[in-house]
Structure 1
Amino acid sequence: MASEEPLDLIHMDISGPHPTAVNKAKYYIVVVDDSSKYKWVLPIQHRRDAPAILNHWKRQIELKMDKRIKAFRTDNAPELKKLTLQWQDECGSDAQFTIPGTSSQNGTAERAIRTINDSARTMILDAQMPSEFWPYASIHAAYIANRASIQNSRSPFELFFSVQPNTFHIHRWGCKIIFHNANDKNPNTQQKNKMEARGREGILLVVDEKVTGRYMCWDIKKKKEFVTESLQFFEENPGGPMLEKTRQEDANHTPTTTNTDTSSENNTEQIITQNDKVPNTELVPETQEDATDPTPEQQTGDSAPEEPIATAVQTDPMDEDMQEAETTQGAETPADNPDTIQERINKQLQDLYMKGILKRPYAQMQQEENDDTPTAKRIRAMMTNLLEREPETYEEAINHPVNGPRWQEAIQNEVETLREFKTWTEVPYQKGMKLVTAKFVFKVKPSIDDQPRKFKARLVAQGFRQIRGIDFHETYAPTPRPTTTRTFFAIVCAMNLNCQKVDATNAFAQAELGETVHLIPPPSLHKSGTVWKLNKALYGLKQASYAWRSKIADCLNKLGFTQCPEDECIMVNSDTGIMILIYVDDIAVAGSNSRAIQEFISNLARTIGIKDMGELRTFLGMEVTRDRKKNRMWLTQTQYIDKMAEELDMTAHRARPIGAPIASWETLEPKQPEERAANKPIFQSILGTLMYTSVMTRPDITFATSSLSQHTTNPAERHLEAAKRVARYLRDTNKHGIEFAFPRRGGMDEFLVGYSDADYANSKDRKSISGMIYMLANGPVHWKSQKQRSVATSTTEAEYVGFTPCAKDGIWLNRLVKWCIDKMDMALDTNQTGQIIKVRNDTLMYGDNQAALKIAGNLGANSKTKHIDVQYHAVKEWIREGKVTLAYATTDKMLADGLTKPLPATKFNEFRSQINVNAVPNVANTE
C-alpha cells in the first residue's frame, strides 16, 4: 500500500555498471518517492560516491519541501545500508532493508530502473547518439516520466508538488541546437573575435529542473557540457550524426590519437552540480516539441538561421521603402501549410508507433476515449497542452486544429471594431511615403468568476519604424502612482461609496491622431497598391497613449470633471459626487449615488466606446473585496502570488509555514569574493516579481525586497535563497492584503497619520535604514524602506535624518487626500449613504526618539547637528509653517519598525497586524 504523503517513504537503488560516460559516470542512483512515484536520477562515478551524492540530495529536498523524510527502503548494498543507518541515528528516519533474495520488496525502485533504462535506450537510439551519453538520457527519461499521468490523470510531479507541470519547455532529447556563441577570447591575444559566428552547433542533453527555459547541452566544438538559455531547437535533426562527423574530422586532421574527453574535469563533483542544477527528468515522446517550436523553415525575422526567401515580383510600382517595410512583417509570414500543426503532431506520433514506443497508432487511441493506460492518457494530455498554446502568427491562428474558428472570430471582431471606429482610410500608395507595418497579436484571457476564457486578437502597429518629429511628437501619458490607487480605494471605503469598473473598448483606436501616419496592414487585410492612412491611433504607435489620454481627459472635462492637481489620474465631479481613477483604459468610478453613477456611464458611452463591468472586483491585478455592512475593504494579489508560486514550483504543501519573509539574524551583506555567485537573471526575475507585490499590496515584505534589491548586479547564492524564502512566505500568506476599515481606531483626527523610524548602523557600511509608513482609513497607503545616503553618528541623528523624507511625502499625500475629500464632501449631505469626513490641514507624523523630536522642534542649530546636510533640516521649516506636526509614539506602537530591520516571527506578526495587512475573511462582496 502506497504512503499517503510525499517523503513518508523513499526507495533507493543503484543501477550499473554502465558504459563509462563522457562525464566518467558508471552508475546512477534512482530515488523514488513512494506516495507519488516521483523519481530522481543521480549519476555517480563509483559506488563509494553514493553517500556524498545522497546527503546532498537529502538536504536539498528536505529544505525545498520543508519536511523531514520519515523512512528509507533499500536493498542490502553496503553503501546504501550504512548511509540509511546513519540517517536513522542522526535524524530519526526509519531504515528499512529487503530480505536477501527478495528484491521484490524494493520493487518500486527496481521498476523505476527498468523504466528509465528502457526510455533512455530508446532516446539514445532515436538520436543516434553514442552510448556514453546515457546519464543525460536517463535524467531526461526521469524528467519526462515525472510529468506523465499515472494516477487519475495526475502526474508524479502534480502528486508530489500539488501543481500541474508545464511541459512546453520539453524538447526532443539529443536533437540539434544552435546556441549563442559568447565569442570566447583567444588564449594567445585574450581578445574576442567579433567576426566569429554568433551561433554554434550543439546537442540538447537535459532540461533544467529549477529554471524554465534553461538547458544543459553539449558543445560539439569544445566537447563539453554547458548550460544556456539562448538556443534554438532543430528537433528534426538528431545530434548523433553531427557528433560522428566532428569525430571523423578530428581524426582526419589529427595524426595522433585524440582524447575525445577534453573535459576531464567533468568528474563526480560536476555530476553533483549537474543534478543540483537539473533535478529529476523523465520520458515524453518527442512530439510536443515539434508543435511548440517552429522548424527552421518556419523561422521569420532576425531569428531565422537562413537567408529569407525572395518573395514574388510585385506588379505595383512600390519603391524600396515600401518593400523594406513589408519585409518587416515577418510575424505575418505563414508559419507553414494549412493544418501544419496537426500534421506534424500526427507524423511524430506515427514515428513513435513505428519505433515501438507506442503500442497502437494514435488514431486508434483517439477513438478509444475510455483507454486508461498510462501511455494513452499521457498522449491525450500532451495533445491538449500543445493545442492550447497561443499562436504567434496569423496563419498559425486561423489554421489551429482546435481553436482556429475561435481565433478567426476574434480577428473578425477586432477588424469590425476598428472599422466601426473608422480607424483608417485606404489610400493609394505614393512614392516616398513613410510606412509603418502591423501584425496581429493573440492572447487567451483566463476565465474569471466562472466566465469562459476569452480569445483576443489585437492589431498592433510596429512603432519602432516611427521617427520623432515626422510621424509622432508627444508620447507622455500619466498613470496613477500606486499610492494614488490605494488612496482612492481608502477614500471609497471611508466614505462608504459605491464603486464600479468601466473598460474602454479598443481605447487607443478611439483617439484621433494629430500626425499623418501611413501603415501597411497585415497581408490578410492588404489590398494591392494601397496603404492605410490612420485616422485613429493603434496599439504600438509611439503616440497612442498620449492621444488616448488627451481624448479621455477632454471627454471628462466636458462632463464636469476636474483633474486633481496632485495626481491628474484622479478626477472628481463636485456636482454629482463622482470620483474616478483612470489607468489607461481601466476606469474605476465611485460615488454615493448609484443612479448618478449609471447616468455618468451612459453619458460617457455617448462619446467613447466603453463596457460597463459592474461592481469593481479587480483593478490592476489586485482583487478588491468589500464588506459594506462593516465598512471594510481588502486589496489582495492572491492570483498573482499563486501564479508566481507555480512558476517557481513552490505550490507543494508544507506542514510549517514560513513565519517571516526574512530571518531575524539575516543581514544580507554584499557577496564576498569567495562566495558562489547566483544566477543573475533568475535572481532578478524573482526579485522583480516580489517588488511588484511589495509596491502594490504587501508592505510587510518591503524591508526584505529593499535589502535584496541592493544586490541585483552581484547576487550570491544566499541572496537567491533569501529571495526564494520571501516567495515562500508570500505563498503561505497569499490571501493576506491591505485592509481598510473606517472608523475603527484613532478617530477623525488620525484619518491620515504617518510613522517614521530608523535602524542605526546595522550594516557593514555603517549606514542606517529609514522606514516610513502612512495609514489612511486604518490601512497602509504609502510606505518606504531605504538605506540612508550618509553615515549617521548616532541613533538620534539617524532618526532625525529620516523625518524630512517622511514629511515631504506626507505633505503631498495630505494635499491629495484633502483635495479628494473636500471635493466629494461638497456633493454629500447627511441624507446620502456617503460619509462626510474632514481632513486635518497639517500632516501628523509620529517618531519614537524623543531626542530627535526635540531637535526637529528646535529652529536653531547646535554643535551636534551642524554637520547634517541642510536638506534634512527642511522638517523644521515645515513644522514652523504648520504643515507638519511631529508627535511621540512608544516603540511598541511604532508602525514603521518592521520597515527598518528583520524581526523575529512573533514580533513580525505583531507588526503585520499593526499595519493592517490581514487575511481576507470568508466573505463575499456585500452591500
Structure 2
Amino acid sequence: MVRSMMSHADLPVSFWGFALETAAMTLNRAPTKTVLKTPYEIWTGKRPSMSFIKIWGCEAYVRRQMPDKLEPKSNKCYLVGYPKETKGYYFYLPSEGKVFVARTGVFLEKEFLSRKTEKVELEEVQDPQVVNEPKLDSETGLQDVVAREPAREAQVLRRSGRPRFEPERYGFLVSQIGNVLLMDHDDEPATYQEAMNGPESDKWLEAMKSEMDSMYANQVWNLVEPPEGVRPIGCKWVFKKKTDMDGNVQTFKRRLVAKGFRQIHGIDYDETFSPVAMVKSIRILLAIAAYYDYEIWQMDVKTAFLNGNLLEEVYMTQPEGFVSPNEATKICKLNKSIYGLKQASRSWNLRFDEKIKEFGFIKNEDEPCVYKRISGSIVVFLILYVDDILLIGNDIPTLKVVKNNLGNCFSMKDLGEATYILGIKIYRDRSKKLLGLTQSTYIEKVLKRFNMLESKKGFLPMSHGVNLSKDQCPISCEDKDRMKLIPYASAIGSIMYAMLCTRPDVSFALSMTSRYQSDPGECHWIAVKNILKYLRRTKDVFLVYGGEEELVVSGYTDASFQTDRDDSKSQSGFVFCLNGGAVSWKSSKQEIVADSTTEAEYIAAANAAKEAVWIRKFIGELDVVPSIVGPVVLYCDNNGAIAQSKEPRSHQRSKHILRRFHLIREIVERGDVNICRVPTEENIADPLTKPLAQRKHDGHTRSMGIRYLNDQV
C-alpha cells in the first residue's frame, strides 16, 4: 500500500514515513471480513469518521498567513498526513522545504486522479524462492488478532543518512569517485535456479543431494498435511565455495536454510542466545600450546545445527528441487533444528554441551565454549566455534579417543593438524616451539575488493599529525552525494576483522576512522586508504607466539590526553602478552572527558585491570600456567595513575572521578593485578593510543609479536 501511494504521488522518497502513518490510520478505519466492526471501533468503542480523509499526495492550496497585497493568498502544497494532536492536515510546501499543519485547504483530488502517468514497461520477474509458498488464507486465524489490537499508527521515522550499497552477491559495485572498485569474482549462485543453470551445476547438485541425505539421516522433518491456521515458513538454498589457506576452491558447500525471519516469538521460538568462543580465548590457548608443544587438531561438525532438538512446533515448505512428487501438497514438520531458525544455534550448543560433558570434559566458567579434561599429566582442551572444533592436548592416544567419541555422536570431518581456522592461517615451527597466525589471504582479498592491490605501500597505519574531526565531514549536497558512493563503512568492517584477530597494530587508526561512518568526508576516506596501504606492505607478517623461557601474562596500558578534537575525550589502550605475543588488546575512546593526563591514564588503567581479571580467571581454570596464581603485572607509564590505583591520594584532583573507575583499587588490593611503572619508551601499548614515528611504531608492534617468521626474536 505504501509503495503504491509513493509511486502515484510527486513526493520525495523521504516522505515514506508519512505514507506509512497514513496507511496505518486508513487501514484501522477500514472494515474487515472477519468482524462487523473496524479495528478502530474495536479498540476505542467509537465509530470512525471518514469524511476528513483525502487522497494522500494530492495537490492542495492552503491559505497564507497575512500575505501582502500583491502576493498570492494561498500556497500550492501537497497533502502528506494527519496530525494526532489536533484536527487538520500535514502539508508539504516544496518552495520552503517544510511540513506544517493547517486546519483545511482546497484539495485538487479530481485533477490528481485524472492526470496521465508516463507509460513504463515493466519486466515481470518472479522470485523462484517464493513460487511454491502457500498463500495466506484471509479467512483463517485473523479473529483473535483483530480483536486484540488494531494496527498501530506508525510514528514518522527519520530516514538514516547512512550510505547504502548493494550486497556483494550482485557481482560488483563500481564508483568512479576516489578510484574505488568493489568486485566479487566468486560467482557463487544466489538461487537454486542459478545453480542448476550454471556451468558447475553437477557439483552443486551433488552437494545438495549430500545435504538432503543428512536431512533424511537425522530425521529432521516429517511430511504432514498443513494444519488449519498454520502458515509454514519458507526455505532456500545457500551456496558457498570454501577455499583453502591460499584461496583455492576446496569444496562446494550448500546449505538448506529456513526463512527464520518469518518466525513469531512465543510461537515458533523462545530463547535464541548461543555462545561462541572468543578469538582472544583461542589465541591464549594457542600461545599455551606453542609453549608446551601440544598437539593442535581440527575437526568440523557436518550439518551441526541438525543435531539440535527442537522443542517448538515449526512447519516449513518442502525444499526447492526436492519436492516429493506424490506428496507435493504436504509440508515439513520439523523435528530437529535447521539452519536459519532463530533457535538453531542455541539448540545445537545445548546438545553439544550435554554430550561433551558425558566424556568427562568440564566447561570453563569464564568461557562457555572452552572445555578441559585433565587426568594426571594428560591434558586435553576443546574449543567450539559454532561447528568448528579445535582439540589441543599432549597425548595423541587420548586425542584419538576424544575424536572417536565425537564421531560416534555427530557426523564429523577430521581435518588433521590445524592449519586454517576462521580465516586465520596457523603456521608452526615445532623445532623452535614457534606458532604464527596470519591473515595474508584475507587481507589480500580486502585489498583486491577495494582496488588497493597496486597502491603504494604505506609505512604507518596513521601518520603523525593527522587530526580527524567532524569539521571535515561534507557540507554541500554535491559532496554528500559524492561520498555516498564511497564504501566507507564496508572498508572499516573489512579492516576490523583483521584487527580483531591478528593485527593490533591498526587498532588506533581504525578506532579513529570508525567514528565517522555515518557521514565520512574526503579526509576520513584518505585515512582509511592509508590503513589499507599499510596492510599491503605488512600483509605477510605473523602474530608469533614462542621463544619465552617462562609462561607469564604481562599487560601494558596507556592513554592519550584529549585525542578527539570533537569532544575532547581521551584515548585508552591496553595489550596483554603471553609467550611472546599479544593475546588481548583494545583501543577505544574514553566514555567521559578527563581534565588531566593522570585522570586519563587512571581511567585507561581501570579498564585494563578489568581485562586482566578475566584473563587471570580464564587461564587459572586451565590449570596449566603455574604463574597465574600470582597477580598479573600491569605496566603503566604515569606515576600519578599508579599511585591513585593503590590508594586514594590528592583528593582535590580526583574527587570528581566516577566511582566505577575506582574498582581498580579493589582489584589491586585483592591481588589480581600488580600495577608497575614502565618507561614511556618501553610501553608497547603506546601505538594503541596515538600515531608514532615509524621506528618507534615498528619496535612496539614487534614487541607485541607482530613480525615475519624468519626474523630473529
TM-score normalised to the size of structure 2?
A: 0.73
- Does structure 1 residue 529 correspond to structure 2 residue 329? yes
Residue 760 (str. 1) matches residue 561 (str. 2): yes
Deviations 1:11-40 (A, max 9, x none): xxxxxxxxxxxxxxxxxxxxxxxxxxxxxx
- 1:762 partner letter: T
Corresponding residue for 1:587? Answer: 389
Pick one of 123, 127, 133 that aligns with 1:296: 123
Matched AA of 2:598: T
For residue 625 of structure 1, report the CA deviation from its aligned partner: 0.9
- 1:736-770 C-alpha deviation (Å, 9 max, x unpaired): 231111425xx44xx10111111122343332211
Question: Residue 428 of structure 2 aligns with which residue?
Answer: 626
The residue that corresponds to 1:468 in the other structure is 265
Query: What code does the residue aligned with 1:395 have?
Result: Q
Match of 1:715, SS?
A: coil
Residue in structure 2 matched with residue 498 of structure 1 by the alignment: 295
Query: Shift in Å at residue 690 of structure 1?
Result: 1.2
> C-alpha distance in 1, partners of 2:394/2:259?
43
The answer to whether the 8 A contact 2:473-2:521 is kept is: no
Residue 321 of structure 1 contacts residue 432 of structure 1 at CA under 8 Å; is this kept in 2? no
The offset of 1:448, in angstroms, is 5.0
Alignment map for 1:605-644 (pairs within 5 Å)? 605-644=407-446
**In the comparison of the two structures, how many residue pairs are matched?**
560
TM value normalised by structure 1: 0.56
1:99 is aligned to none
Report the CA distance between 1:467 and its aligned residue.
Answer: 1.3
Question: In the TM superposition, what is the alpha-carbon distance from 1:506 to its structure 2 partner?
Answer: 0.5
CA distance in 1, matches of 2:588, 2:532: 20
Q: Classify the secondary structure of the residue corresponding to 1:629.
A: coil
Report whether the alignment pairs 1:558 with 2:358.
yes
2:388 aligned partner, one-letter code: D
Measured after TM superposition, the shift of residue 488 of structure 1 is: 2.0
2:189 to 374, 381, 391: 391
Residue of structure 1 aligned with 2:504, choices 663, 685, 699: 699
Residue number among 569, 574, 582 corresponding to 1:780 in the alignment: 582
Which residue does the alignment assign to 1:88?
none
Unaligned regions of 5+ residues in structure 1, if any? 1-179, 198-248, 252-294, 303-307, 325-384, 826-835
Deviation at 1:614, TM superposition (A): 0.5
- Following TM superposition, by how much is the alpha carbon of 1:502 offset from its aligned partner in structure 2, in angstroms? 0.6
Checking the alignment, whether the CA contact within 8 Å between 1:505 and 1:609 is kept in structure 2 is yes
Deviations 1:402-459 (A, max 9, x none): 2222222112111112111111122233322341221222222235569754222221
CA distance in 1, matches of 2:212, 2:682: 59
Distance in 1 between residues matched to 2:285 and 2:412, nearest whole Å? 21
In structure 2, the residue matched to 1:876 is 665
Q: Please tell me the residue identity of whatever aligns with 2:673.
A: V
The answer on whether the counterparts of 2:541 and 2:708 sit within 8 Å (CA) in structure 1 is yes
- Pick from 598, 607, 632 the counterpart of residue 843 of structure 1: 632
Are 2:643 and 1:890 aligned? no
- Corresponding residue for residue 340 of structure 2: 540
Structure 1 residues 808 and 907, CA gap change in structure 2 (3 angstroms): same
Task: Please state whether the residue corresponding to 2:461 is helix, strand or coil.
Answer: coil
Classify the secondary structure of the residue corresponding to 2:372.
strand
Q: Could you say what secondary structure the match of 1:487 adopts?
A: helix
1:99-498 alignment runs, 5 A limit: 296-300=123-127, 389-400=187-198, 402-447=199-244, 453-498=250-295
Answering whether residue 521 of structure 2 is matched by residue 723 of structure 1, we say no
State the partner residue of 2:160: none
Q: Tell me the SS of whatever aligns to 2:234.
A: strand
Classify the secondary structure of the residue corresponding to 1:721: helix
1:390 Cα offset (Å): 2.5
Instruction: Tell me if the contact between 1:483 and 1:782 (Cα under 8 Å) persists in the aligned partners.
Output: yes
> Whole-Å Cα distance in 2 between the matches of residues 716 and 391 of structure 1?
35
- The CA distance in 2 between the partners of 1:611 and 1:438, in whole Å, is 26
Identity between Structure 1 and Structure 2 (%): 29
Q: What secondary structure does 2:211 align onto?
A: helix
- For residues 707 and 674 of structure 1, what CA distance do their matches in structure 2 show? 17
Q: Does 1:790 align with 2:617?
A: no
| Cα shift readout 1:771-822 (whole Å, capped 9, x = no counterpart) | 11111112111111122233323222221222111111111111111211x1
Quote the Cα distance in structure 2 between the aligned partners of 1:196 and 1:490. 65
**Deviation by residue 1:180-223 (Cα, 9 ceiling, x = unmatched):** 98998579x999888689xxxxxxxxxxxxxxxxxxxxxxxxxx
Q: Counterpart amino acid of 1:683?
A: Y
Structure 2 residues without counterparts, runs of 5 or longer: 1-5, 21-55, 59-115, 143-182
Q: Deviations along 1:291-329, whole A, 9 cap, x unmatched?
A: xxxx93444289xxxxx99x99x9xx99669999xxxxx
Q: Give the superposition deviation at 1:501.
A: 0.5
Aligned CA distance change for structure 1 residues 639 and 184 (closer, same or farther; 3 Å)? farther
Aligned AA (1:756): T
Matched position secondary structure for 1:569: strand
d(CA) in 2 for partners of 1:508, 1:502:
15
Contact in 2 for aligned 1:321/1:434 (Cα 8 Å): no
Question: Matched residues in 2 for 1:716 and 1:181: separation?
Answer: 33
Please state whether the residue corresponding to 1:854 is helix, strand or coil.
helix
Structure 2 CA distance for partners of 1:922 and 1:767, relative to 1, 3 Å: closer
Contact 1:735 1:920 in 2 (8 A): no
Q: Secondary structure at the match of 2:341?
A: coil
Greater relative contact order structure (CA < 8 Å, 6+ sep): 2
* Selected match of 2:494 from 683, 689, 709: 689
Shift of the alpha carbon at 1:587?
A: 0.5
What whole-Å deviation, never above 9, does each CA across 1:234-268 have from its counterpart, x for those lacking one? Answer: xxxxxxxxxxxxxxx999xxxxxxxxxxxxxxxxx
Counterpart of 2:98? Answer: none
By how many angstroms is 1:522 displaced? Answer: 2.4
- Any idea what SS the aligned residue of 2:367 has? coil
Aligned equivalents of 2:536 and 2:8: distance in 1? 37
Q: Distance in 1 between matches of 2:286 and 2:681?
A: 28
Distance in structure 1 (CA, Å) of the matches to 2:17 and 2:605: 52
- The one-letter code sitting in structure 2 at the alignment partner of 1:394 is Y
> Cα gap change, 1:739/1:673 in structure 2, threshold over 3 Å: closer, same or farther?
closer
Q: Deviations over 1:358-380 (max 9, x none)?
A: xxxxxxxxxxxxxxxxxxxxxxx
In structure 1, the residue corresponding to 2:236 is in which secondary structure? strand
CA shift at 1:900, angstroms?
Answer: 0.9
Query: Residues of 2 paired with 1:387 and 1:703: CA distance?
Result: 32
Helix, strand or coil for the counterpart of 1:722?
Answer: helix
Amino acid across the alignment from 1:528: A
Quote the offset at 1:464 in angstroms: 1.6
Contact kept? 1:660, 1:729, Cα under 8 Å: yes
Instruction: Name the SS of the counterpart of 2:525 in structure 1.
Output: helix
| Displacement after TM superposition at 1:873 (Å) | 1.7
Identify the residue that residue 31 of structure 2 maps to in structure 1.
Answer: none
Residue in structure 2 matched with residue 367 of structure 1 by the alignment: none
Equivalents in 1 of 2:19, 2:272: separation in Å?
Answer: 40
1 CA distance for matches of 2:589 and 2:126?
Answer: 48
Alpha carbons 1:447, 1:454 under 8 Å: kept: no
Cα distance in 2 for partners of 1:627, 1:874 equals 42
- Equivalent position SS for 2:233: strand
Decide which of 299, 305, 309 is 1:508's aligned counterpart: 305
CA distance in 1, matches of 2:185, 2:512: 43
Q: Is the 8 A contact 2:136 2:231 kept in 1?
A: no
Change (3 A) 1:557 1:880: same
